[in-house]
Amino acid sequence: MDDAQSRKAEKAERVLIIACGMLAREVLAVKSRLASDHIDLTCLPAEYHFRPDRIAPEMDKAIARAKAEGYRNIFVGYADCGTGGMLDKIVEKHGVERMAGPHCFAFYQGLDAFERQGDADMLAFYMTDFLCRHFDSFFMKPLGLDRHPELIEDFFGNYEKLVYLAQTDDPALDRVAEDAAKLLGLAYERRFTGYGDLVPALANLPA
């Protein structure tokens, strides 16, 4: 068996998660917690958060590449994430599974808890650890709020509160979320979710 065949054979015995770049740190944290050394991770760009139309076609390519490399066990580290069911068509096409739920804000809280909060959170702007770390690069600069703060009302005027879904206890991230709520003129609520349904989803992957 040559080196290429050996690498393919090795990957055939492992699990590959193809995840949203927003989940990279969290997937690795859960992998470490579970001591799941058989799991590999690759990510699509976090910027697809703004272009959900790109998620399904890029995932299609990523899964095809992974299979060509030898992976037989592949898990999609995305919820629907605004694809309008298009990601499910790719998942079905390749015979793989994805994270359950409409988006990460749901599976971080747990789908049952998310559904119970539905009405109360109708006008909530969610943030996560990732979005706190990248608040400037994902919101302030792309929306031009750093140059034109008067646009805040246009973009966020219909929200009533900012809900920080915290994966970790990090005072620095808490401050970012609180400051963001003040900047956007929203009430502030912090919910510690941990990694939510990401933990059982990874725990149930084949060993």
Mean pLDDT of 114-132: 96
Does 203 fall in a domain? no
Q: Across the strands, what pairs with 161?
A: 124, 187
- The overall average pLDDT reported for the chain is 95
* Residue that finishes a domain, picked among 73, 99, 125: 99
Does some domain include residue 207? no
CA 3 – CA 97 distance, rounded (Å): 30
77 within a domain of the structure (yes/no): yes
Q: Write the single-letter amino acid at 77.
A: G
Q: Are residues 26 and 111 in the same domain?
A: no
Q: Are residues 72 and 140 in the same domain?
A: no
* Residues 133 and 187 both lie in one domain: yes
Whether residue 207 is predicted with pLDDT greater than 80 in this model: the reply is no
Q: Residue 87: what pLDDT?
A: 98
Do 70 and 114 reside in the same domain of the chain?
no
Residues 93 and 111 in one domain: no
Q: Is 6 in contact with 47 (CB distance < 8 Å)?
A: no
In a domain, 171, yes or no: yes
CATH code, domain with 78: 3.40.50
Domain boundary among 76, 99, 122: 99
Q: Which of 99, 118, 143 is at the close of a domain?
A: 99
Q: Tell me if 176 is assigned to some domain.
A: yes
Q: Is 150 among the domain residues?
A: yes
What range defines the domain where residue 79 resides?
Answer: 3-99
Asked, for residue 72, whether it belongs to a domain, the answer is: yes
Checking if the pLDDT of 187 tops 70, the result is yes
Nearest Cα neighbor of 159 from 188, 139, 179, 192 is 188
Domain membership flag for residue 159: yes
Distance CA(123)–CA(79), nearest Å, equals: 21
What tokens does 91 get? 């998942």
Q: Are residues 78 and 117 in the same domain?
A: no
- Together in a domain, 129 and 72: no
Q: Do 65 and 137 fall into the same domain?
A: no
Q: How many domains does the chain have?
A: 2
Two tokens, residue 207: 């060993």
Is the pLDDT at 2 greater than 80, yes or no? no
- Is the same domain home to 88 and 22? yes
Q: What is the pLDDT, as a whole number, of residue 1?
A: 62
Q: How confident is the model at residue 6 (pLDDT cuts 50, 70, 90)?
A: confident
Percent of the chain with pLDDT over 70: 100
What is the average pLDDT across 6-31?
A: 94
Residue 95 and residue 11 in one domain: yes
Q: Residue 144: helix, strand or coil by DSSP?
A: coil
The type of residue at 167 is Q
Query: Could you read off the pLDDT of 47-84 as tens digits, one per residue?
Result: 998 899 999 999 999 999 999 999 999 999 999 999 99
